[in-house]
Amino acid sequence: MPSPRIAVIGAGLAGIACASRLQLEFGIPAVLFEKSRGRGGRCATKRTVDGLLIDHGAQYFTIRDPLFSSIVHQACGDALLPINAPITSPDGTPIPGEPRWYHRDGNSRLARDLGPDLDVRSATEISRIEPLGHSWLVNDEPFDAVVSTAPLPQSFRILGLSSPPPAYIPCLTLILSLNGPPTGRAASQYAVRDRSGPLEWSACENHKLTRIASDRTVIVSQASEAFSRAFLEADPVVWGAALTDLTARTWNLNPADVIERVTHRWRYARIASPATLPTLPPGTFFAGDATSASRVESAWLSGHETAARVAAFLTKAQAADPAPAIP
């Protein structure tokens, strides 16, 4: 009897965790369809032409869950590093927190290390899946079950749900590259967090070891929810200039030292609150950060847990109809 086949849409941390567990623990092959060229989704890293690695999505990740801890340590080995420099409020008061981790080779590398041998069809955007008997057509191929890990507005479209999807909070992001090594507060401090101003987060990537050349300073800034909503559809030149100004003031940088400015618009950066999903069509599943918390670790755990639900569904379907769904 042929093995069931599963389609997983999205090669972010949830998709990678789901496909990995299906294959390794349940022996069920999964095909990942990813619209981008790379993996990692919002756990994103830019590699500049001169070889700098800059995390412009998830800045760091927590390792709270014992299972995630053991798997991520095993998969990443000595590439898993803690951020040691402090995070403060704008007035310099340290903000305490649990250990914050990053991947030496760029946070997007997590997706590769946590799922090294997966069948990923990159640059393949899925707009809709279609039912075919008891199975589903994805990109014209039949599958016994489909897991969508795209942010919910996209997942609702893909799965053909008509109810309005839960709200997400956008995040406008700026990457600034400057001539010279970090000076002033950037020399000793990783990030500044300001929950009440327009610049919610600004971090000096030089504190991630081996990432940034010694004659450069790289700052990643994220606008607040209010700023991001106000400028979401505006010209990036306009909001990029405003964020540059705020960033320069925060770190006391000289704008004349800026070599490069890159903007990125995250339309679905994080969920406003954990979502409750409507009933999904049989054989379809959602995995991702949207049902728990917008964190790398939560996304991975959601994918991992969804793999068990998919395996249980297939076992039940097989018991009800021993003939294979896909001839």
Ligand X SMILES: Cc1cc2nc3c(=O)[nH]c(=O)nc-3n(C[C@H](O)[C@H](O)[C@H](O)COP(=O)(O)OP(=O)(O)OC[C@H]3O[C@@H](n4cnc5c(N)ncnc54)[C@H](O)[C@@H]3O)c2cc1C
Token pair belonging to 165: 């999807």
From residue 207, alpha-carbon distances to 81, 121, 190, 219, 246 in Å are 11, 34, 6, 10, 20
For ligand X, the closer of residues 36 and 88 by Cβ is: 36
For the bound state, the minimum distance from the C-beta of residue 201 to ligand X, rounded and expressed in Å, comes to 8
For ligand X, the closer of residues 199 and 317 by Cβ is: 199
From residue 64, alpha-carbon distances to 69, 80, 149, 194 in Å are 7, 14, 22, 24
For ligand X, the closer of residues 71 and 317 by Cβ is: 71
For ligand X, the closer of residues 150 and 219 by Cβ is: 150
For the bound state, the minimum distance from the C-beta of residue 299 to ligand X, rounded and expressed in Å, comes to 3
For the bound state, the minimum distance from the C-beta of residue 34 to ligand X, rounded and expressed in Å, comes to 5
CA 121 – CA 221 distance, rounded (Å)? 32
For ligand X, the closer of residues 60 and 227 by Cβ is: 60
For the bound state, the minimum distance from the C-beta of residue 323 to ligand X, rounded and expressed in Å, comes to 30
How far does the chain reach from its first CA to its final CA, in angstroms? 9
Provide the 3-class DSSP secondary structure of residue 326. coil
For the bound state, the minimum distance from the C-beta of residue 199 to ligand X, rounded and expressed in Å, comes to 13
- Residue among 220, 219, 222 at smallest CA distance from 194: 222
Looking at the DSSP bridge assignments, the partners of residue 223 are: 199
- Residues near ligand X (CB under 6 A) are 9-15, 33-36, 41-43, 57-61, 125-126, 149-151, 154, 158, 171, 173, 222, 266, 269-270, 288-289, 294-296, 299
CA 111 – CA 76 distance, rounded (Å)? 10
